[in-house]
Amino acid sequence: MFDTLKSRIYQGNQFIPDIPNAPMRKQFRGLPSLCNGKCTNCNKCLDVCPTGALKLNPLSIDMGKCTFCGACKNICEAQAIDFTNYYKLASTNRDKLIITEGMTPEEYEKIAVEVRKEITSIFSRSLKLRQVSAGGCNGCEMELNACSNANFDMGRFGIDFVASPRHADGIVITGPISKNMAYALEDCYKSVPNPKIVILCGTCAISGGVFQNSTELNREFLEKYPIDLYIPGCPVHPLTFINSVLSFIREKK
Amino acid sequence: MTNWLITKNNSKVNLLDIPTLEMSQLRSEIISQEKRPVGFFGKDWGFGTTRLFVILADDDNGELLISSAMFSAEQKSYESLTQDVPSFHIFEREFYEQFGIEPLNHPWLKPVRQNQDKYEFFEMKGDEVHQVAVGPIHAGVIEPGHFRFMCNGETVYHLEIMLGYQHRGVEDMMVKQPSNQLAESICGDSVIAYNTVYSQIMELLKDIEISPKAQLIRKAALEMERAAIQIGDMGAVAGDIAYAMGSAVFGVTRTLVINTMLEWSGSRFGRGLINVGGVNFDISEDEIKLTLKTLDKVAKDVDRMAKTMLKNSSVMSRLEKTGTVSLEKAKEIGLVGMAAKTSGIPLDTRFDYPDKWMKELNFEKKPFKGVGDVNSRFKLRYKEVKESLSMVRKILAKLKDYEKEPVLVNSNKELSKDSLAISIVEGWRGEVVHIAMTDGNGNLSRYKIKDPSFNNWYGLALAVRNNGISDFPLCNKSFNLSYSGNDL
């Protein structure tokens, strides 16, 4: 027992104190930064993009499709495409994930998440989520697990993953939704008591990502039920996830 | 003509050189070879015919043996191999599911990835026997799979595992639109392993030689991935026995490793690092210094926590003799990778099929004494973390010799025609095998993937026999097998 206590003292406090303003390493590929004027229409970026997230004239990147692999940035000789390390990428509106020239982190933070009174009044202090992996590759799943580790400690905000949909206020979907998981996903959603929310976590969940052309998917669920929050990323960084959910359930200061 | 084409790991062969035997002859050949399968898969050969390719691994000599058999449109069955060599059970089930050619007298021809709802589970009957059904959605944040326990009270008689919920049609997609990003998303906890093996396949087919520097960076990243996951899983094992201290400390220590990966590549799991033709990012001298400093801390912290944990008798009472797979059973069902090592089979394709760096950097296989229980799997992870960290150090030191070299070469080339390329990379779970074939026009015509989990899931089913059902999470985490890698 003394060894365990010594370890506790040796480790000290490992949590990140200020999650909403936590610094991110400069190498992280987050919100794209585009410069239409530099684009020479060479189409090279379109060829390397695995998911068709890019469009030219005017230049835009759909974060709902983007895997943040950076291939377009690497191939663009004109340096029209860059990625900032801004990590609060979520939006309540699918269309707002499409980034065009001039979108700055400050601007994006203002427009991305629409705060709704009925959400903040119920969930702002406690949000219990049931996660459903529907064809997820274990990337987003590992990062969602990391949200609860000693560094990120999501539980301090009252946000937790629970074992049963019956105890949950909403579901978090990862993965492109395989045919074989479509039934279980819908079943899970129906088991969550009202009022409930649906969060799409990761590029695969939002658009199918690299699997969008697969014949083994069944994404009907997304047409049937309302989606409340889209969180882009491949995989979603824990800071992205926690801050996205916070911005959705809490009033802006 | 010989019955087998003998080749090495990371090699390309002409399809015309691969022998085609009668199935009955191939069957007796496979049995007499007494080697383990790494590939057993069909390919549509036109006009309703199917060609079955078999690749066996000769681990003692570092060689791969390839042969094949042709099935005519009318020939819809053959005598199953599983009766004689049990480790083929899953391969034959997969072949049957994909091509409808039935292995006759297969002991248990159940689905692999399809028709879960139509399958009738094996049932035990008795007054005291009951079933526990779990999944596909589990209590934790993990991938989906269905587990059916046959129990007597709290003791598990048998566990049946039904997977396939994650099936996304990856093999077809790899033929139609292969990309590094797709390869990375096949199994998102083995990003580096999958992307390395995919890139090697493409480089073989395109005849590209990548720079030594790029090779070293890939190797370093692979070991970083191994270290990160093994540390994380040590934490997960600690979590499942309610040893919160271990869970927390290993969790934050893993963060140090994956954040270093973020510095290298912009992604915590190394996504976007590897590309066909090399790697996308160079590691600067400053980054090397920073990495070495971090790794020192990681090594120290892991050491400290693991020693503290293993000294604790209440920890040991949970780990020892829980979820044991005997050496005999492990050999019989053909376990690979980590799970095999812990049962006493020293399989490690890094050393069994070494590339030039293994010799140049003096990396040697170190023996591990395991008895196949959770404790062995925990200790193996601890050992692998230490080894991987020291390997990363050596690789990074070697990088200095190649300072001015490019990390990426042009990969804009045609694929070779009528070829088969095979590459095996030892991911943290075990061997990740990719096999690609091209047609006469130089287009991909078949892409076959084998994750180590494909062999090992049955090992988990055997491990939980005669254990308390409450120890299942612990057994499961100690293996930490992949659902998405298995389901494809």
Write the ipTM: 0.92
**What is the rounded distance in angstroms from the CA atom of residue B459 to the CA atom of residue B224?**
26
CB A69 within 8 A of CB B181: yes
Q: How distant is the Cα of A137 from the closest Cα of chain B, in angstroms?
A: 5
Q: How distant is the Cα of B272 from the closest Cα of chain A, in angstroms?
A: 5
Interface contact A50-B181, CB threshold 8 A: yes
Taking CA atoms, what residue in A is nearest to B194?
A: A137
Interface contact B136-A181, CB threshold 8 A: yes
- Show me where the domains of chain B are located: 5-104, 170-451
Instruction: Determine what percent of chain A is predicted with pLDDT higher than 70.
Output: 100
* Residue range B13-62, pLDDT digits in tens: 999 999 999 899 999 999 998 899 999 999 999 888 999 999 999 989 98
CB A60 within 8 A of CB A102: no
Q: Residue B207: in which H helix or E strand, if any?
A: none
Sheet hosting strand B155-162, strand order edge to edge:
B129-134, B146-152, B155-162
Mean pLDDT for the stretch of residues A12-22:
87
* Residue range B146-174, pLDDT digits in tens: 999 999 889 999 999 999 999 999 999 99
**What is the rounded distance in angstroms from the CA atom of residue B110 to the CA atom of residue B457?**
14
Return all residues near A223 (Cβ < 8 A) that are at least 6 apart. Answer: none
Nearest Cβ partner for B137 among A28, A188, A213: A188
**DSSP 3-state of B170:** helix
Mutate which of B166, B167, B195, B243 to disrupt the A interface (most A C-beta within 10 Å)?
B166
Query: In chain A, which residues have their Cβ closer than 8 Å to the Cβ of B300?
Result: none
Q: How distant is the Cα of A20 from the closest Cα of chain B, in angstroms?
A: 19
Residue B194 pLDDT grade (very low, low, confident, very high; cuts 50, 70, 90): very high
Q: How distant is the Cα of A232 from the closest Cα of chain B, in angstroms?
A: 14
Domain B5-104 in CATH 3.30.460.80? The answer is yes
Annotation: CATH topology of B170-451:
Cytochrome-c3 Hydrogenase; chain B (1.10.645)
| B178: amino acid identity, one letter | P
Strands B20-21 and B274-275, bridge-based pairing: unpaired
Helix B285-311 with B212-240: angle, nearest 10 deg:
30
Helix B452-463 with B472-479: angle, nearest 10 deg:
160
Interface contact A70-B280, CB threshold 8 A: yes
Taking CA atoms, what residue in A is nearest to B303?
A: A7
Taking CA atoms, what residue in B is nearest to A6?
A: B308
Q: How distant is the Cα of B346 from the closest Cα of chain A, in angstroms?
A: 28
Return all residues near B12 (Cβ < 8 A) that are at least 6 apart. Answer: B204, B205, B416, B419, B420, B421
Q: Residue B463, exposed/middle/buried by CB under 10 A (0-12, 13-18, 19+)?
A: buried
Mean pLDDT for the stretch of residues A171-178:
94
CB B193 within 8 A of CB B428: yes
Interface contact B136-A131, CB threshold 8 A: no
Instruction: Determine what percent of chain B is predicted with pLDDT higher than 70.
Output: 100
* Residue range B88-122, pLDDT digits in tens: 999 999 999 999 999 999 988 888 888 777 888 88
Helix B472-479 with B212-240: angle, nearest 10 deg:
170
* Residue range B346-397, pLDDT digits in tens: 999 999 998 888 888 888 888 898 898 999 999 999 999 999 999 999 999 9
Q: For position B1, what pLDDT does the model report?
A: 52
The structure tokens 């587990």 sit at B147
Taking CA atoms, what residue in A is nearest to B167?
A: A178
DSSP string, B267-292: STT-TTTEETTEES----HHHHHHHH
Residue A250 pLDDT grade (very low, low, confident, very high; cuts 50, 70, 90): confident
Interface contact B188-A142, CB threshold 8 A: yes
**What is the rounded distance in angstroms from the CA atom of residue B167 to the CA atom of residue B65?**
29
The structure tokens 């979603």 sit at A236
CA distances from A74 to A79, B274, B419 (A): 9, 13, 31
Q: For position A159, what pLDDT does the model report?
A: 93
